[in-house]
Chain A
Amino acid sequence: KQEVTQIPAALSVPEGENLVLNCSFTDSAIYNLQWFRQDPGKGLTSLLLIQSSQREQTSGRLNASLDKSSGRSTLYIAASQPGDSATYLCAVGNTGGFKTIFGAGTRLFVKA
């Protein structure tokens, strides 16, 4: 059974700092991995999607990496801003992808 763990559960950093959020999964037979952000009371916004054949994806200040063999993904946020404050969720799509398993998230707070 696939299990997805995100560390840390919460993180508070000063504005401008670079930071890394971690996601680990127990079953390496994944289809894809997606990072989302969730603002309080809102739905999920897709940030980056990495297919199982890919090693990383980049969008603006965000970079996500995937290492299937070790069961890890990282989300790197460069030059953090207060607007980055949100909960970041890692979601792993198992083969077939229809039972995407989510981590519990990392709650990020960027202080101005």
Chain B
Amino acid sequence: GAGVSQSPSNKVTEKGKDVELRCDPISGHTALYWYRQSLGQGLEFLIYFQGNSAPDKSGLPSDRFSAERTGGSVSTLTIQRTQQEDSAVYLCASSLVLGGEHGYTFGSGTRLTVV
């Protein structure tokens, strides 16, 4: 696609429920990244994918968070048993190659509110 697409744009969920956030990167971009931006905070790196592989999952906040990428394209970030502290904007970015030699393109984010 022309840009990085994220869905849903907004999600309100009850505490304890599971949520799935979707990211559709720019076609042909091999690298994909997930970030989290909490209210008044900077961007927190969560995980990156090179193709379908995520070599480093240490940035995920807890074992309730998981992410996958299939076909080298769409990625989903899943949060199980959501907690109020999970409320944030989740941003996805992609780059042509890992390392962003030509820069990163960000999606508009998913605003998650856990009530």
Chain B residue, CB-CB nearest to A46: B103
- Chain B count of residues within 8 A CB distance of the other chain: 28
Tally inter-chain residue pairs, CB-CB below 8 A.
66
Indicate if A55 sits at the interface (CB-CB under 8 A). Answer: no
If A93-B100, A98-B50, A104-B42 are given as contacts, then 19 extra A-B residue pairs at C-beta distance below 8 Å, sorted by A number, are: A32-B101, A34-B100, A43-B108, A43-B109, A45-B106, A46-B104, A49-B102, A89-B42, A89-B43, A91-B43, A96-B98, A96-B99, A98-B98, A99-B48, A99-B56, A99-B59, A100-B33, A100-B45, A102-B35
**Contact B31–A34 (Cβ < 8 Å):** no
Q: Does A26 touch B at the CB level, under 8 Å? A: no
Q: Are B106 and A43 in contact (CB under 8 A)?
A: yes
Q: What's the least CB distance linking A3 to chain B, in Å?
A: 11
Report which of A49, A89, A98 forms a contact with B31, defined as CB distance below 8 A.
Answer: A98
State in angstroms the CA–CA spacing of A42 and B10 once bound together.
Answer: 12
CA of A102 to CA of B61, assembled, Å = 17
Task: Say if the beta carbon of B112 comes within 8 Å of chain A.
Answer: no
